[in-house]
Structure 1
């Protein structure tokens, strides 16, 4: 089994513990946390060392931390990822979130939106919640209401552009950082920044990595917080999550209509089979144009396709 050992900052340890679910069982002395993510076992030790074990260890480290090279931890001021004591729903906030990052088919969509203190009760009355808990029908219903009164910015990175960035050695973490930052800057242009209390980002990477990858200035760093499972902590993030998911759902519906078949969400085994069928009918290049080519689903679909031809 391939192993990758990395030294983490305190912030990265906090981020991974918030992002991943701890595996059950007794840990060896010196280990504070163990989890499995996309087939890779991640062990974190008291020494702030992390071991990534598995064939895709570098890819997983890059996705979670935005790097694969060892880096000594650095102490810095004002770099806290999250602020557990803040009740964001009593403040005016910009929230940002994305959809499509774990789906083989379809684009990467990112939204930032502004929710003032006055609009918090309105969102609660409408039933705004974590988009993962809502049906696609409810997401569409809510999003079409939210966009009429919430200042927001929605950016869609389609599959050809996503694959171009990958060919330029951009990680998905970098793509998301750039898109989140641009959405937030766009929303700031639509509101009175003096009324803004916080910018809350649904955390997908530690703050230093986000700030390193975002192209251009990261605005209002002193007001920016990063929250794992942010949809449950901030209605601004929940609203952004719904709008970004809405854009992804509508795009997937359009693909299903275009190819006269249900284009599946996610990245599971059924997606592999569906992709192989589309490759057989429309060609590999066509499927590449509507998928994220770096996903393992592509390789698995090609194997299914190859086996099907061999069995004939």
Structure 2
């Protein structure tokens, strides 16, 4: 999905508002001046002057206000930016880690020298080797939602998507609070912009800048790749710690092996033990209970 952010003058913002007045939609974000949903796109005007175009026809609409399409990933990254990613969403055991990282063009050579890439393409050994170096060099904000807290939040009415929205939003908000100045903020897309906007409205802290949700962003932007590595290392450490605490090695993922281990935990520690180590709303819980019987 295309996502384009432009910095427009007051005159240009007025022109956008006039052009898309027929497609005006409400927005509860206090930093949004206007929000439009024309055919094939969504357009958000922020009080900062940034205007975000998202959707299949984003480039078509944005070109009217000076956007020039570029296929160069290097060009897309040639500015200070924040990138976020999460790890643990698809794993039954372990928490959910979300990281926002601030990367400047001056950091690129350092990151490339370490072989920074999408964490899904790297071994756990490599991730654990370079994550401490990234944490020391790159400004970032890391959040970890432990399984027990995750389960409590689910009971309070959150779902798997709204939890991620809340964590990504909070990580970005806290990183900006540290004083970094990002020209662009990119989230590795895990839901649609419409869904993200719906859930983020419910959060008390609002990010005052345009945010782009881009599919497979971890392989396109170094800032997102850094976040994916730090988040993966954090998830692995948490998985190890939880396993040591309960005396059982916990697997990553949500396959049959997780069902078997979960049934062992139920047998020795009961549901309370499982609640401390696993995301209970996964189907693995029911499967483990059947195995136990």
Q: Could you say which TM-score interval applies, normalised by the shorter chain?
A: 0.7 to 0.9
1:115-134 equivalence runs, <5 A: 115-134=103-122
Distance 1:300 1:115 in 2: 43
How much does 1:261 deviate?
2.7
When the two structures are aligned, how many residues end up with a matched partner?
234
Query: Is 1:186 aligned to residue 182 of structure 2?
Result: no
| CA shift digits 1:176-219 (9 cap, x unpaired) | 111101110111122342xx221010011111221221213542
Cα RMSD, aligned residues only: 2.2
Match of 1:160 in 2: 148
Structure 1, gaps ≥5 residues long: 1-10, 16-72, 307-312
Distance 2:197 2:144 in 1: 21
Distance 1:248 1:192 in 2: 25
Match of 1:171 in 2: 159
**In the superposition, relative to structure 1, how do residues 216 and 144 fare at CA in structure 2: closer, same or farther (>3 Å)?**
same
Query: Is 1:137 aligned to residue 111 of structure 2?
Result: no
Match of 2:267 in 1: 280
1:23-102 equivalence runs, <5 A: 74-75=37-38, 76-77=42-43, 78-80=52-54, 85=70, 87=73, 88-102=76-90
Query: Is 1:268 aligned to residue 242 of structure 2?
Result: no
Match of 2:100 in 1: 112
Distance 2:237 2:205 in 1: 31
SS in structure 1 of the partner of residue 84 of structure 2: strand
Distance 1:165 1:291 in 2: 13
Query: Is 1:210 aligned to residue 184 of structure 2?
Result: no
Q: Which runs of 4+ in 1 moved over 6 A?
A: none
TM-score by length of 2: 0.75
Distance 2:242 2:99 in 1: 21
| CA shift digits 1:214-260 (9 cap, x unpaired) | 213542443x2211111110000000011111110001111222233
Larger mean CA deviation between 108-117 and 80-89 belongs to 80-89
**In the superposition, relative to structure 1, how do residues 117 and 220 fare at CA in structure 2: closer, same or farther (>3 Å)?**
farther
Structure 2, gaps ≥5 residues long: 4-35, 44-51, 60-68
How much does 1:274 deviate?
1.1
How much does 1:80 deviate?
0.4
